[in-house]
Amino acid sequence: MIDSGFDRRDFLKVLGWGGTAVALSGCGNTSIENGKETVVSYVEAADYVIPGVGVYYNTTCAQCDAGCNINGRVREGRVLKLEGNPDSVINRGKTCGLGQAGVQHHYNPDRVREPLLRKGSTGEAISWEQAYALIAEKLNGVKGEEIAFLSGNVSGHFKVLLGNYLDSLDSNNHFVYEALAPAVMRASSKKAYGVEMPRYNIDKAKVVLSFGADFLGTWISPVHFSQQYAQFRKGVDGQRGVLIQVESKMSLTGANADRWLAIRPGTEGILALGIINALGTATGAVASLAKEYGRARVSKETGVAPGQIDKIAALLKLHSPSLVLAGSAVEGYAHGSQNAAAIHLLNQVLGNIGKTIEAAPVVPFPQMAPSTGKTAALKALAGGLNSGKYKVLFNYGANPVFTAPGAMNFKSSMAKASFKVAFAHYLDETALEADLVLPLDSALEDWGTQVPEYMAGGVQINIQQPLMEKLHAGTRGAGDILLSLIKQRRPDEYKSYEDYYAYLRGAMLQNKGALGGAGMDDDTFWNDALTKGIITLKGAAVSLSGTAGAGDLRLPTSAEGDAQYPLHLIPGITPNLRDGRQANQPWLQESPDPLTTIVWDSWVEIHPKKAAELGIVEGDLVEVTSRTGSIKAQAYLFPGIYPEAISIPVGRGHEAMGRYAKGYGVNPFQILDEVYDEETGELAMNETRVKISKVGQRVLVVKDEGAAGGKQMGKKIAVRVSTDEVDLSEEV
Amino acid sequence: MHRFLRLSILLTGLFAAMSSYAADNSQPALTTPDDLGPKIEQPIEFPHNRHAGLRNPNDPTNSDPANGGMEMDCQYCHTYARRSAVAGIPPLQKCIGCHQSIDTVRDKPRIQELFKYWDAKKAVPWKKVHDLPDFVRFNHERHIKRFVEQQNRPTQEACGYCHGDVKNMTVARRSKPLTMGWCASCHEKAHPVTAEGGKAVGKQAYWYSFSKPEKKSGAAEMPNEVKAQGPNDCWQCHK
């Protein structure tokens, strides 16, 4: 938001005088630097290095956990550009914006450059020897059960080594936490299909009915799904696929849908049962359950017009196979598991299981398969910390002080551990609370292996390798740190590995045969793996069960907010920022949000009708208050939201993490109540109720979209009706 | 508040303008009337004449460093020019590769200086001599391919078109203007480009004082010369 005190007239004045100033400086020729600029040559040049000519290396994108294979252009020893690896079945040569911004993670000026030890409120730089000695000293006399290790998703050899380290400490307390993980979906898929992460064939479906699954923007493996979606739109047998998106807040996928339906938050399961009823093809227990969900009742509870329910049912009947997706938007309720179960049941009734939903092959090395993050893990950790159970806390790849719900107050829980070690790229909110910060190599400097959770093709192991020399001498690879730590406990077992690279190479060569290198000599196999960046394996095939039936499916009747907190708060997940771990990459801050086109700031999405009712116009600063807390942000009027809900995007509002993240926007995680899914114990992200009030200030919303609200200055170029006049639920 | 802000922006701008103007005055002139670039002091006064200059016929052993050179090919040291858009500067390793076995000059001050860099494994901080504005992309590789490899002209002649008579210089000095008009003057008179379809055409380029190809009477389109991928596209240099 910018203050509107600086008007057009002032702007022109400054521009004029500024232009004069520039002209006076005579900058016409200053880019020629004969005799001024130094040209530095190599002391010794490798044969393949030619100045000005790029060399390409394959590695794995570390910006999210989808495991896209990428290659980086390296010129004069510097990595310049990341693109997709064309041989990858996951992303087939493409990357998303997040992936493109990976270089800004690497070159970020706010990276931690040496180990820091807490001295009061500041960090004092110490040597690595001192850091390791300190950890050994602090662990001395601490029992295994008093040590906890918090991490984000981990897989591959790092996971194996981490497991061995915790084993050497005699600790079982590995908490894997991801703020935006589809954990409820995993549990409900396990129940309905027999596997946690099935493979979805969007490209083979003729109709996709997505309940809040933003598969083009943020859901599971968006680059892969985007390519499937392109195929789906081209159509099977020349018949273009139809996408129906049902959600309370429009996502990027919703914006691309043929039909977009706003639904009362939390009633997605009811609509799914209503559709089963309208289809009329179910039998037995499912049919008798669905019978309770007649058109009138479903329409009343969900806010979806009866005609729409019939249209969807008719479309699903007409075109088979179809695919019904339960996205993260349906998970975020106390009955999230039930919501998802009802949606899976719809797939079963439609006979999609085995056609558009298949089982992915199983990773033949279970110890390398990904440990997937859950919010329930954070709750368990916080409980343990509060009761004083854990004395030493390690943290790698998670930022719970930023992403935990405000009601949990994780910062104070964390303070209860007497010694906290953070493996960190940046001083984020969690690293700032640590006693010892160990600086990590960037993802483009480090070695590693990764096994993606969503298997697009066969089983694959992704190779992560350095694209260039380290930028800062004082950083270490996460695997190297772990290896040094485990050497403290089991020196005999690990002394032969000089570094993590040696460990990785040794471990891979040991299993050469199983990794597809039977008969190759060691160097050939290893070089081949590094060149390709992907090791493809045959995984064991499994089949889906798909006979879950109605079971104990119970859906609560929809509840609006109470009188005090009348609105639903839906934390928005944007393709640019996700859970906010990349908020310090300026390309992501400055690239406009795909739906609102707002940059560098947070906003509160309000339906125009609701805004009119409350007397709010675009740019009004509003205070959003929940039982847990309140935040202030600019209002943005957006017709793509259920009128009784508001949405604030997550990812911004950092209080630390460097110059590009700190102080931009607000953090809605801070005002989330602690409501959990009853079945899985996962945080119910969308259960927080809020009230909204005007602060009394108004700002100019900084966005790409024209001032007329997308009307293109009154010219009807692409649309026939301006967006604020469209009733989106009536389209198509 | 804003009035104050505006004033401070203005003052800062004017101050920056004045100071950069003053700073510019202390710089050597970028172009001199005789097209010579500024004299540039290098960390080591590299004698191009000794390495690339013509042999002295009266000195068969090549022992007099003041008179006569070794007729080395430019590309022996500037090896990247034929492989890349940028010519690069030879790695220090290249200098040492020969000089470690030339004992006769080993105790000369310049060579001692050179070995100091080598022993410290530090790059020599050479200064740029032929710099182009950042919005110009000159491709060395294409020019070497054309003149040296296709037309078999001597390297020194081909390099000399732009770099001047380096074999008679010690430290190199720019001796051509390297302006756009100067580039164009060469491209216009002696640069027939083969158009698509293999037809050789002259006067193909039509920007910047080049003549536009004539449209044949009755033809619907411009002749295909225009499509030629030569340096007649702005894009070739300004990309």
What is the per-residue pLDDT across A454-473, written as a single tens digit (0 to 9) for each?
998 889 999 999 999 999 99
Give the burial string for A431-461 (b: 16+ CB within 10 Å, else e): bbbbbbbbbbbbbbbbbbbbbbbbbbeebbb
Residue B151, pLDDT score:
83
Sheet with A174-176, edge to edge strand ranges: A122-125, A116-119, A436-439, A419-424, A392-396, A147-151, A174-176
Model pTM greater than 0.90? no
Give the pLDDT confidence score for residue A568 in this predicted structure.
94
Q: Among A44-48, A325-329, A532-536, A566-570, name the one with the lowest average pLDDT.
A: A44-48
Taking an 8 Å cut-off on Cβ atoms, the answer to whether A38 and B86 are in contact is no
Residue A40 near chain B (CB below 8 Å): yes
CB neighbour class for A555 (10 Å; exposed up to 12, middle 13-18, buried from 19): buried
pLDDT of residue A101: 96
Q: Which of B10, B123, B131 sits opposite A43 (nearest CB)?
A: B123
C-alpha to C-alpha distance for A534 and A463, rounded to whole angstroms: 6
**What is residue A154's three-state secondary structure?**
strand
Nearest CA in chain A to B178: A32
CB-based contact, A31 to chain B, within 8 Å:
yes
Question: What are A395-406's pLDDT values in tens digits?
Answer: 999 999 999 999
CA distance A111 to A94: 27
Q: Do A34 and B30 touch (CB under 8 A)?
A: yes
A54 part of contact set with chain B, CB < 8 Å: no
- Three-state secondary structure call for residue A210: strand
Please give the residue of chain B at the shortest CA–CA distance from A30.
B133
Q: How distant is the Cα of B57 from the closest Cα of chain A, in angstroms?
A: 35
Q: State the pLDDT at residue A268.
A: 94
Q: Other C-beta atoms within 10 Å of B196: how many? A: 11
CA distance A69 to chain B (A): 28
Q: Which residue has the higher pLDDT, A46 or A494?
A: A494
Cβ separation A43–B134 shorter than 8 A: no
The stretch A615-620 carries a mean pLDDT of 94
d(CA A170, CA B213): 83
List chain B residues with CB under 8 Å of A13. 6
- Report chain B residues whose CB lies below 8 A from the CB of A43: 91-93, 117-118, 121-123
Q: Within 13 Å, how many C-alpha atoms sit on residue B39's CB side?
A: 3
What percent of chain A clears pLDDT 90, i.e. is strictly above it? 76
What letter represents residue A417's amino acid?
A
| Distance in angstroms (rounded) separating the CA atoms of residues A34 and B87 | 16
| Helical H segments across chain B, by residue range | 2-25, 48-52, 74-77, 92-99, 109-119, 140-144, 155-163, 180-189, 234-237
Could you read off the pLDDT of B62-105 as tens digits, one per residue? Answer: 777 777 788 899 999 999 999 999 888 899 999 999 999 998 88
Where do the H-state alpha helices sit in A351-477?
Answer: 375-386, 400-403, 410-415, 429-432
Is B14's Cβ below 8 Å from some Cβ in A?
A: yes
Q: Do B40 and A35 touch (CB under 8 A)?
A: yes
Does residue B189 sit at the A interface (CB-CB below 8 Å)?
A: no
Instruction: Report how many Cβ contacts below 8 Å link chain A to chain B.
Output: 125
Phi first, then psi, for residue A137 (nearest 5°) are: -65, -45
Does residue A261 register a pLDDT over 70?
yes
* Whole-number percent of chain B with pLDDT over 90: 27
Interchain contact B40–A (C-beta under 8 A): yes
Residues from chain A that touch B132, judged by Cβ atoms under 8 A, are: 32
Cα radius of gyration rounded to whole Å, chain A:
27
The Cα of B18 is separated from the nearest Cα of chain A by a number of Å equal to 6
E strand or H helix at A695, and its extent?
strand A689-698
Q: Tell whether B239 lies on the interface with A, counting CB pairs under 8 A.
A: no
Task: Map tokens 């609370």 to a residue.
Answer: A433
Q: List, for residues A681-729, the tens digit of each pLDDT value.
A: 999 999 999 999 999 999 999 988 765 445 555 555 555 554 455 555 5
DSSP A574-640: -TTTTTTTTTT-HHHHHSPPTTT-B-SS-EEEE-HHHHHHHT--TTEEEEEEESS-EEEEEEEE-SS
pLDDT at B166 over 70: yes
Residue of B nearest to A42 (CA): B91
A58: β partners: A71
Question: Which pLDDT tens digit goes with each residue over A54-111?
Answer: 999 999 999 999 999 999 999 988 999 999 999 999 999 999 999 999 999 999 999 9
* C-alpha to C-alpha distance for B123 and A38, rounded to whole angstroms: 11
Give the mean pLDDT of A118-145. 94
| Span A271-299, average pLDDT | 91
- Please report the residues numbered 131 through 150 in chain B whose beta carbons come closer than 8 angstroms to any beta carbon of chain A: 131-135
**pLDDT tens per residue, range A318-361:** 888 999 999 999 999 999 999 999 999 999 999 999 999 999 88
For residue B119, the chain A residue with the least C-alpha distance is: A43
Answer whether B97 touches A (CB < 8 Å).
no
Query: Any CB–CB contact under 8 A between B7 and chain A?
Result: no
Judging contacts by C-beta atoms under 8 Å, the chain A residues touching residue B117 are 43
CA distance B155 to chain A (A): 20
Q: Can you read off the two tokens belonging to residue A305?
A: 């017009």
Residue B23, Cα to own-chain centre: how many angstroms?
A: 26
Q: Above 50 in pLDDT, residue A298?
A: yes
Axis crossing angle, helix A478-489 with helix A156-168, rounded to the nearest 10: 30
Q: Does ipTM surpass 0.85 in this model?
A: no
* Model confidence at B207: pLDDT above 90: no
Contact B88 A51 (CB under 8 A): yes
